[in-house]
Amino acid sequence: MDITKFKGAIFDLDGTLLDSMHIWHDVDEEFFRRRNLKVTKEYVDIIKNMHLPAAAVYTKEKYNIQESVDEIVDEWLDLCAQGYLNNVDLKDGVYEYLKLLHEKGIKMAFATASEKQVCEGVLKKHGIFDFFGAFAYVSEINIGKTEPDIYLLAAERMGLNAQDCVVFEDIIEGIRGAKKGHFTVCGVYDKSSAKDEEEIRTVADYYIKSFKELL
């Protein structure tokens, strides 16, 4: 993929730049353990593309959780924040690739379903936060990644059109959403979405196992 064909690059965080998908699994496990409940695959598949308030509403209603939606979100964020700072690394080649794009003058943004207070600390810790000139959070628009809105917002904040940008995503739902917005999309391998690899390769314009392939 020739990145110089694009004026901007939009990156998902969890599972794309960050090796972090296990953190959300750990959060779910601990949250459910405290209530003597079990996490199911069906539950994970339903909430994985929701922003936190919507996931909290679903969780509260499905499992008759006593705490308020805000209290559930706060508990998740507390569990998550420490996990991100202490147990999340960059995926292979990420720092080097972002540095390369920065040197080439490619504008960069991230578009994430994670919350600001969870992800910004780990980006700063690993020295990549300052590469990004724009940020877009699903919680700002309350529309998940199955639709293109979050990617369009990121592009808008860079002053670019969708056709000027490439989106890097690891989940099939996000890849489909970005394609709806007429973005070029590069699928990124993550073990959490490995089951969808064949479909990701079909829907995305490009596919990489590691950012090292692009250096």
Helix (H) or strand (E) holding 47: helix 41-47
Q: Among residues 72, 87, 102, which one ends one of the domains?
A: 87
CATH number of the domain that 59 lies in? 1.10.150
In this predicted model, what pLDDT tens digit does every residue of 21-73 receive, in sequence order? Answer: 889 889 999 999 999 999 999 999 899 778 788 899 999 999 999 999 999 99
Tokens of 44: 């994970």
Tokens of 89: 């690394």
Residues 122 and 205 placed together within one structural domain of the fold: yes
Say what the pTM is. Answer: 0.88
Contacts of 59 (CB under 8 A, 6+ apart): 43, 47, 65, 72
In this predicted model, what pLDDT tens digit does every residue of 76-124 receive, in sequence order? Answer: 999 998 889 889 999 999 999 999 999 999 999 999 988 888 889 999 9
Residues 29 and 122 placed together within one structural domain of the fold: no
Nearest to 115 by CA among 135, 100, 132, 131: 135
Query: Domains in the chain: how many in total?
Result: 2
